[in-house]
Amino acid sequence: MKGRICMVTGANAGIGKVTALELARMGATVIMVCRNREKGEAAAAEIMSKTGNRSVHLLVGDVSSQKEVREVAAQFKDRFDSLHVLVNNAGGLVPTRQLSADGIEKTFATNHLGYFLLTNLLLDLLVKSAPSRIVNISSDLHRFAKLDFSNLQSERKYAQFQAYALSKLANVLFTYELARRLDGKRVTVNCVHPGGVNSNFYNNSGRRMRFYSKFFGWTMRSPEKGAETIIYLASSPEVEGISGKYFKDKKAVSSSKLSMDRENARRLWEVSEEMVKLK
Ligand SMILES: NC(=O)c1ccc[n+]([C@@H]2O[C@H](COP(=O)([O-])OP(=O)(O)OC[C@H]3O[C@@H](n4cnc5c(N)ncnc54)[C@H](OP(=O)(O)O)[C@@H]3O)[C@@H](O)[C@H]2O)c1
């Protein structure tokens, strides 16, 4: 990975931190996008000391905020002229209905629109730097999502699992639509289910989930195991040229029926473009 420039969002903890660490260990230049400067600096320092790689950089931004995502993309473009790997990982399960800085339901704003906007803002660079790769972290929970375009922001009733499942379905639909749009451009895009991972994810997801992780955390995977497929998709020659797939344990598997519907993907793309004011 020497000479490759890789961006990982949500890189100060959990799966994202392991991904950033391993890419740095392989010699890549790593740009960590974190919402908290102190946590980001501490993680970057730890990664540099563990890998001996000094090309680890921090950009601070909350991906639920469109203004901050635009600032992160602009700062990146000021400092770097290529991008070979983008790992969209920052996300979580939001216990109660909250609004982002843009007035959008926070699960959807972070987990889907954060990926969508950042990727679109960096797409010119990814195309220019081809061969390049995009890896979107989804979840098998996408299989439980209901897709109602008139209620993408859980306005009628908020249920944290439903909101989360919908955002993770959006990750898969986005991946498939983007793969179609990037056909022939030598930029691949795939998504991943990392498995149930014992990270901060459950601690940040409300009392019920904290309780669950306290007692059942030991049954889950380590962040190192959870990051394996992400690192594989970001770096392995075995997946060169493979695009538009849903991966689990380094194998492409089927995603839900809803996620494979092209009309859903096209419609979500258009709605998302309007929500992030890309049109
Ligand atoms: N853990 C699981 O079982 C599991 C299963 C399937 C999928 N996933 C997916 O895997 C990804 C990573 O989760 P994880 O398990 O590694 O969780 P984690 O340990 O909670 O790490 C999440 C990372 O994302 C960052 N983040 C969250 N919201 C953000 C925002 N608005 N802007 C910028 N950064 C933000 C967090 O920053 P802070 O440290 O500042 O909070 C942290 O660095 C998520 O997309 C999640 O949906 C997880």
Annotate 16-28 with DSSP letters as a single string: HHHHHHHHHHTT-
Q: Is the CB of 85 under 6 A from ligand 1?
A: no
Task: Give 68-127 pLDDT, tens digit per residue.
Answer: 999 999 999 999 999 999 999 999 999 999 999 999 999 999 999 999 999 999 999 999
The alpha carbon dihedral of 50, 56, 60, 61 has a sign of negative
Domain range annotation of the chain: 5-275
Q: Which of 14, 55, 17, 12 is nearest to 34 (CA)?
A: 12
**Average pLDDT of the segment spanning 159-163:** 94
State the Cα torsion 35-41-44-49 to the nearest 10°. Answer: -160
| Both tokens assigned to 169 | 């379905």
Distance from residue 147's CA to the centre of ligand 1 (Å):
23
Burial class of 26 by CB neighbour count within 10 A (0 to 12, 13 to 18, 19+): middle
Lowest-pLDDT range of 2-16, 59-73, 189-203, 239-253: 189-203
Residues of the chain with pLDDT > 90, as a percent, come to 92
pLDDT band at 207 (very low <50, low <70, confident <90, very high): confident
Residue to mutate, 15, 87, 118, 205, ligand 1, most ligand atoms under 8 Å from C-beta: 15
Distance from residue 77's CA to the centre of ligand 1 (Å):
24
Distance from residue 90's CA to the centre of ligand 1 (Å):
5
Right CATH for 5-275 from 3.40.50.2020, 3.40.50.720, 3.90.850.10, 2.120.10.80: 3.40.50.720
CA–CA dist 229, 232 (Å, integer): 5
Q: Is the CB of 222 under 6 A from ligand 1?
A: no
Distance from residue 144's CA to the centre of ligand 1 (Å):
20
Which ligand 1 atom is the nearest neighbour of the CA of 17? 43
Is residue 169's pLDDT more than 80? yes
Q: Is the CB of 90 under 6 A from ligand 1?
A: yes
pLDDT band at 235 (very low <50, low <70, confident <90, very high): very high
Catalytic residue selected from 115, 164, 202, 246: 164
Q: Is the pTM of this model over 0.85?
A: yes
Determine whether 164 is an active site residue: yes
